[in-house]
Amino acid sequence: MFETLDDCLTDCRNRLIRAALDRRSPMHTPVVVSGDVDARVMVLRAFDGDAWALRFHTDARAPKAAAFVADTRAGLLFYDKGAKVQIRARGRAEILTDTPEVDAAWAASTNFARRCYLGEGPGALSDVPTSGLPPEFEGAEPDDAQLVPARENFALLRVTLASLDWLYLAHTGHVRAQFVRGDGAAAWEGRWVSP
């Protein structure tokens, strides 16, 4: 099934392409780890298969945004239980707030999704359970004018991958491959390793 390193690398690429496009993909919501060793599940919004770059939406005020600015190391864990494939990845993270790519992602979002950036921000303290949304937007979709202040809080987390660890679990014997590359345009170098 996976006889060559190219097969494994192609499998990684195809799974990440599908994960970004298909919300039902088991790899659509990977675990993302910042340099301060804090982990969270995030929704994969886009994957650039040429640059090997992943894109996530985040709040510029979130503690994870500050963590990635301070330390650009990122770790990611993708798992597809049905296919028995795990991908562990590492890369360099960037928080983008004011680029055409951010503007395009904002424009492509629904007003219902954009309202998440109207509140006080992730981690704000509260005396009661809270969604963080202003009360008038609890369960309600704001209009474009009401969302103007939210745009400044919207950011992208882009992770450009530098290493991949691909593992296929099989009752006949697991198979594992690792890939590394240097700067952005460098080709992947692969090797087989014992699981």
At 184 the pLDDT is 60
Domain that holds residue 82: 5-193
Q: Which range (27-41, 53-67, 181-195) has the least confidence? A: 181-195
Q: Region 34-49: what's the mean pLDDT?
A: 96
| pLDDT greater than 90 at residue 18 | yes
Q: Is 46 helix (H, G, I), strand (E, B) or coil?
A: strand
Q: Give Cα separations from 50 to 47, 53, 56, 149, 184 (angstroms).
A: 9, 8, 17, 34, 10
At 2 the pLDDT is 85
Note if the pTM is more than 0.85: yes
Mean pLDDT of the chain: 95
Contact predicate 55/68, CB 8 Å = no
Q: Residue 30: which pLDDT band, with cuts at 50, 70 and 90?
A: very high
Q: Residue 185: which pLDDT band, with cuts at 50, 70 and 90?
A: low
Domain count, the chain: 1
What's the number of CA atoms in the CB half-sphere (13 Å) around residue 24? Answer: 1
Which of 18, 94, 88 has its CA nearest to residue 53? 94
| pLDDT greater than 80 at residue 168 | yes
| pLDDT greater than 80 at residue 133 | yes
- Provide CB contacts within 8 A for 180, sequence distance 6+: 162, 163, 164, 188, 189
Q: Region 105-134: what's the mean pLDDT?
A: 93
Percent share of the chain, pLDDT over 70: 99
The CATH number of residue 60's host domain is 2.30.110.10
| pLDDT digit string, tens, across residues 72-105 | 999 999 999 999 999 999 999 999 999 999 999 9
Cα dihedral sign for 67, 69, 72, 78?
A: positive
